[in-house]
Structure 1
Amino acid sequence: MARPADLQRAAAGRLRETGVASPEYDAAELLAHVLGTSRASLALVGHVDDAAAARYDALVARRADREPLQHLTGTAAFRYVELAVGPGVFVPRPETELLAGWAVDAAAAVAAAGRTPVVVDLCTGSGAIAASVAHEVPAADVHAVELSEDALEWARRNLSGSGVDLRAGDLATAFEDLLGGVDVVVCNPPYVPLEAWESVAREARDHDPHLALFSGDDGLDAIRVLAGRGADLLRPGGVIGVEHADVQGEAAPAVFAAAGRWEEVRDHRDLADRPRYLTARRVGR
C-alpha cells in the first residue's frame, strides 16, 4: 500500500526529468485515471493498493516516454465537451478552444438575427470544434469533414448523437452542396513547416498524425487552399476562422489579404499573447 501523495511526487519527478511540460498535472491526472476518480478527489484517497500502484507506474513510464497524456487516459477535455482520443487522431489543444469560441460566437450572432446558422468545420479531426458549436449553439446546422480514415472513426464516435453532418473528404473539395450558403467556416488545419520537424514536441511528432501537422515547406499550403475554398463556401458577408502557428501571425493573414476575396482580415492572440488564429469576412453583403 502506498500514499497517493508519495506516488504523485515520485511520478512528477520522473516526468520532469524526461522533459514533460506539466509533470505535476500529468502525474495527478494519471493517478486519478487509475483510481477512477478526479484530481480534485485525490486528497480523499487514503492509500493505493499494490495492483493500482503497478498500473500507475506503467502509465507513468509511457508518459515519460512522451506518449500523450490523452492517449493514456483516452479522453481530452475541450470547452464544455469531453472527447475520446487515441492513436490516429490529432489531440485537441487548449489554444484551439479560443478559435472554437469564436465560431460559437459567430454562429450565435446569426441565430440571434433570426436565421439558422450554417457552420462548416474543415479538417475536423476528433470533431472538437464541431462538437462545441453543436453543443453551445443548438440551433446551428453544423457540418464537418475529415480526410483521414483513422481520425474519421474518432470523429464519428465523438459526434454521434450531436446532429452534426460528418463526412469523409478533402477540405479543398468538400460540401459542393453548400457552396455559397455557409455562414461560418472554421478550421484548424495542418500548418507546421516541413523544415520544422526537429522542433516539434515529441508528443506531437511521434503520435499525432502527420497529415494533421505538416503543410508544405512554409506550413501555409493548407491555409492557401482555405483562402479559396472558404470564400467558395461562404455566403457574401460570411466569416472564416483559421488557426495557425505562432510564427505565422503575419504570413497567414497575408495569404487571405492577397486572395482578393476577403475583408476585415484580422489576427488574434492566444492566452499566452502569441498569434494564434485569423478571421476574415467574405467580400459582399
Structure 2
Amino acid sequence: MQILRKAVRKAQSLAQGRTESVFRSFEAQEISRATHLNLVPPRQKRGGGLGTLTYAEYCWTIGLFQPLIYQNLPSRRPGRFLDIGCGVGRLYLATRPYLETSDEYIGLDVTENSIRICQDIYKDETAARFVHFDVHNAYYAGSQSSETQPYPFDADSFDLVTALSVWTHLRESDWRFYLNEVGRILRPEGRAILTFFVVDPETQHGDRTGTAAMPEYSAPDDRTWTFDTPAYDSQDWLYPAWAAVPEVAIGVRKPAFEAALEAAGLKTAAMYPGAWRQKLGLFFQDIVVLEKMKS
C-alpha cells in the first residue's frame, strides 16, 4: 500500500508540473494584473517543491494570507516584518505589495537551501533579506546544532511576525521557547500570524464531524490528523501515531496553548479554525493572530 501511495504521488506531481506549464502559457496576460504573482518561481527552481508542489498552491497561499497581513499591518512606518520559517518565499510574496521603501522584511529559515533559493530569486528586492537560522529540527534540519538559540534580533524590534507551519514542527520545549521569543522581539501591540494545530478534546479523539458542513473532498472518517501520541513524553504536545518523528506534525492542547501565550506576553486577537478538523476552514491548519500585550 505504501509503494502504491508513493507511485500515485509521483504521478500526481508529474501531472501537476505539466499542467502548471500549460496554465502559465495561457494565463500570462491575466497574471500581469497581479504583479507579485510574476515573482512566483518556476517549479524547477523550488528544489522539488519544498512544501509547495504547484503554482496554484503558491497563488492560493498568497491570496489567502494577503488580506490577513493587510488587516494586521503596523500603523507606524517604517515597519519591520519577520517571516519565521520563510521557506522559498510564499509569505514574502504575500507581504511584498504592502512594503514601503523604508520598510524592512527579513525571512528566516533553518533550511539553508531554502535561504539560498530566496537569495537567488529575490536578490534585487531591496526591502528584503533572507537569513539562515542554524538550529536543529528533527524533521527539517537534523544535522544542525541541537542547542536552542534565541532569534538573532533585538527586543521590541518587529511590528509583524508571520510563521506558516513552523510551530507545527516544534517539540514542547522549543515551542514554548520560540513563542517567548516572538513575545520578546515584537514591539508593544505588534502582531504575529502563526499557523499550527490547536488540539481540543473533540479533535484529539478523532470525532471531528460536529454539525458543520463537511469539506466536499474530505472523508468524514479520515483519522490522519488525530493527535493521540505524546511527543517526547509531553502531556500536552501530541502527534499522529503514523509520523516517523513527532516533528512531522505536532499539535498542542488548547489549555496549554493558552497558558503558553500568557507566559509569552501575548494574547489571541483572532483565530480561524483549520480544515484539518474535517470541517470547513479558512486554511488547512489553524490560523492564530496574536498581539503583544502592553507592559
Q: TM-score, normalised by structure 2?
A: 0.55
Letter in 1 for 2:117: W
**1:262 aligned residue:** 266
Matches within 5 A, 1:211-226: 214-216=169-171, 222-226=174-178
Are 1:240 and 1:280, in contact at CA under 8 Å, matched by a contact in 2? yes
Residue aligned with 1:115, SS: coil
Letter in 1 for 2:68: W
Query: How many residue pairs are counted as aligned between the two chains?
Result: 206
**1:89 aligned residue:** 50
**1:231 aligned residue:** 183
Distance (whole Å) between structure 1 residues aligned to residue 270 and residue 38 of structure 2: 26
Are 1:189 and 1:222, in contact at CA under 8 Å, matched by a contact in 2? no
Residue aligned with 1:244, SS: strand
- Call closer, same or farther: CA 1:122–1:32 in 2, change over 3 Å: closer
- Unpaired stretches in structure 2, ≥5 consecutive residues: 30-34, 136-148, 200-250
- Call closer, same or farther: CA 1:105–1:228 in 2, change over 3 Å: same
- Call closer, same or farther: CA 1:227–1:151 in 2, change over 3 Å: same
**2:86 aligned residue:** 124
**1:44 aligned residue:** none
**2:159 aligned residue:** 183
**2:109 aligned residue:** 146
- Call closer, same or farther: CA 1:149–1:106 in 2, change over 3 Å: same
Letter in 1 for 2:82: V
Distance (whole Å) between structure 1 residues aligned to residue 15 and residue 152 of structure 2: 43
Are 1:185 and 1:240, in contact at CA under 8 Å, matched by a contact in 2? yes
- Unpaired stretches in structure 1, ≥5 consecutive residues: 1-14, 42-76, 193-213
- Give CA-to-partner distance per residue, 1:92-116, whole Å, 9 cap, x none: 7567443454234322xx2xx4521
| Among candidates 189, 195, 213, match of residue 243 of structure 1 | 195
Of structures 1 and 2, the larger Rg is shown by: 1
Letter in 1 for 2:86: T
- Alpha-carbon distance, 1:282 to partner: 0.6
Are 1:32 and 1:38, in contact at CA under 8 Å, matched by a contact in 2? no
**1:105 aligned residue:** 71
Distance (whole Å) between structure 2 residues aligned to residue 269 and residue 121 of structure 1: 21
% identity of equivalent residues: 12
- Call closer, same or farther: CA 1:282–1:157 in 2, change over 3 Å: same
- Alpha-carbon distance, 1:157 to partner: 2.2
Kindly indicate which of the two structures has a greater share of residues assigned to helix: 1
**1:135 aligned residue:** 97
- Alpha-carbon distance, 1:17 to partner: 12
- Give CA-to-partner distance per residue, 1:13-42, whole Å, 9 cap, x none: xx999655996x97475156279823799x
- Alpha-carbon distance, 1:90 to partner: 3.4
**1:165 aligned residue:** 129
For the aligned residues, what is the CA RMSD? Answer: 4.1
**2:77 aligned residue:** 115
- Alpha-carbon distance, 1:142 to partner: 0.9
Distance (whole Å) between structure 1 residues aligned to residue 6 and residue 183 of structure 2: 48
Matches within 5 A, 1:7-22: 19=8
Distance (whole Å) between structure 2 residues aligned to residue 180 and residue 36 of structure 1: 42
- Alpha-carbon distance, 1:143 to partner: 1.3
- Give CA-to-partner distance per residue, 1:154-207, whole Å, 9 cap, x none: 12123221220222225852332x421211111124355xxxxxxxxxxxxxxx
